[in-house]
A and B are shown apart, each in its own frame.
Chain A
Amino acid sequence: MTAQHGIWNDAPDAALLVAYANGDPSAAQVLTARLLPRVLAQATRMLSDQAEAEDVAQDALMRLWKIAPDWRQDEAQVSTWLYRVVANLCTDRLRKRRGVPLDQIAEPADPQRGVEVQMQDTARLRALSDALAQLPDRQAQAVSLRHLQGMGNPEIAEIMDISLRSVESLTARGKRALTDILQGRKAALGYDDDEP
């Protein structure tokens, strides 16, 4: 972050978005540096595919840039809006995976870890993502926000614009469904030993 961005460092996201809409050239850099890691993490955890996650992150931020001139500061927080957009974009992509056999596992990306362990982790993450793809969209979104993002139910309720009771129901049913889907793959994923 350069000194010229210093004035924006403590500014709320919405103020940066307004500055961007008003033509400030540095606002987009500060916003991207602030929001992109969260957006990319959410997409990566849901999709377990680096290229797809990057596409979703780029798409989500493009939507943010486009909505900036019409952004109403009293409507929602930028981060809440982005979580919602990313969740929707990810479930769109997961939906297309339904019925497609698991035959594409990304290569290990971290050279520090043992290749075997890395491959097993990658297979497990992909299996989780593919199981997520089998759930109804709203269940997949609620489960991913709760268990992959580690959010609290009130925050999820705000992002998904539903009641707390609905969040509890969706996450409980979603987790149970995921467990059922993955039960048949325990051995293949290395969960047949005493220790996972």
Chain B
Amino acid sequence: MTNRDDDMIDDLFGLAQSQTPTPSDDLMARILADAAAVQPSVASASPPQAGFVQSLMDLIGGWPSVGGLAMAGVAGMWVGFAPPTVVSDWTAELVGTPVTIDMLGSTDSYFSESMIDG
């Protein structure tokens, strides 16, 4: 590559950079017609679509609410597995004392005997 080759390419670059075309009225009109054709109307304009999880989060109030829900869930499970005495008393008052009916008494003994015999 010689300096004159560089001169040529630099001259061509300069020539290209000097091109500053003025957009014609026709081009401007075509582009604005395109813009009007695909512009969302005010009525149909909607915020960007969020994913399902994000929508759910928005519905219940975001992460703070999720934290509260999780705590309530854990507390509920704890009460279910190991109810404090006061809860047992309340359920007894509300639904009466639970009665256990052994439907498989004879079968139990059958199995027990079978296991002993076997």
Query: Contact at B21–A124, with CB atoms within 8 Å?
Result: no
Quick one: closest B residue to A33, CB to CB? B28
Query: Contact at A191–B35, with CB atoms within 8 Å?
Result: no
| Cβ of A148 under 8 Å from chain B | yes
User: What 1/0 mask marks residues of chain B from 16 to 55 whose CB sits below 8 Å from any chain A CB?
Assistant: 1101111110011011101110111111010010000000
Q: Which of B2-10, B65-73, B76-84, B94-102 contacts A (4 or more CB under 8 A)?
A: B2-10
| Cβ of A87 under 8 Å from chain B | no
Interface size on A, residues (CB 8 A): 49
Query: Contact at A61–B35, with CB atoms within 8 Å?
Result: yes
The complex places the Cα of A104 from the Cα of B95 at a distance, in Å, of 95
* Shortest distance between the CB of A60 and any CB in chain B (Å): 10
Partner of A179, one of B9, B39, B45: B9
> Interface of chain A, helix or strand or loop or mixed?
helix
Query: Contact at B8–A186, with CB atoms within 8 Å?
Result: yes
Q: Which of A16-24, A78-86, A90-98, A155-163 contacts B (4 or more CB under 8 A)?
A: A16-24
| Cβ of B92 under 8 Å from chain A | no
Partner of B8, one of A40, A121, A149, A179: A179
| Cβ of B90 under 8 Å from chain A | no
Query: Contact at A65–B35, with CB atoms within 8 Å?
Result: yes
Query: Contact at A32–B32, with CB atoms within 8 Å?
Result: yes
Q: A178 — which chain B residues lie within 8 A by C-beta?
A: 9
Q: Which of A2-10, A50-58, A134-142 contacts B (4 or more CB under 8 A)?
A: A50-58
Query: Contact at B34–A183, with CB atoms within 8 Å?
Result: no
Interface size on B, residues (CB 8 A): 35
Query: Contact at A61–B42, with CB atoms within 8 Å?
Result: no
| Cβ of A167 under 8 Å from chain B | no
Query: Contact at B34–A61, with CB atoms within 8 Å?
Result: yes
Partner of B16, one of A45, A58, A66, A70: A45
Query: Contact at A147–B34, with CB atoms within 8 Å?
Result: no
List 12 additional contacts besides A40-B21, A61-B35; criterion CB under 8 Å. A40-B23, A44-B19, A58-B34, A61-B31, A62-B34, A68-B40, A147-B13, A148-B16, A183-B5, A186-B8, A191-B8, A196-B7
Q: Rank and list the top 9 A-B pairs by shortest CB-CB distance, nearest first.
A: A23-B42, A28-B35, A147-B13, A196-B11, A128-B12, A191-B8, A45-B16, A148-B16, A36-B23
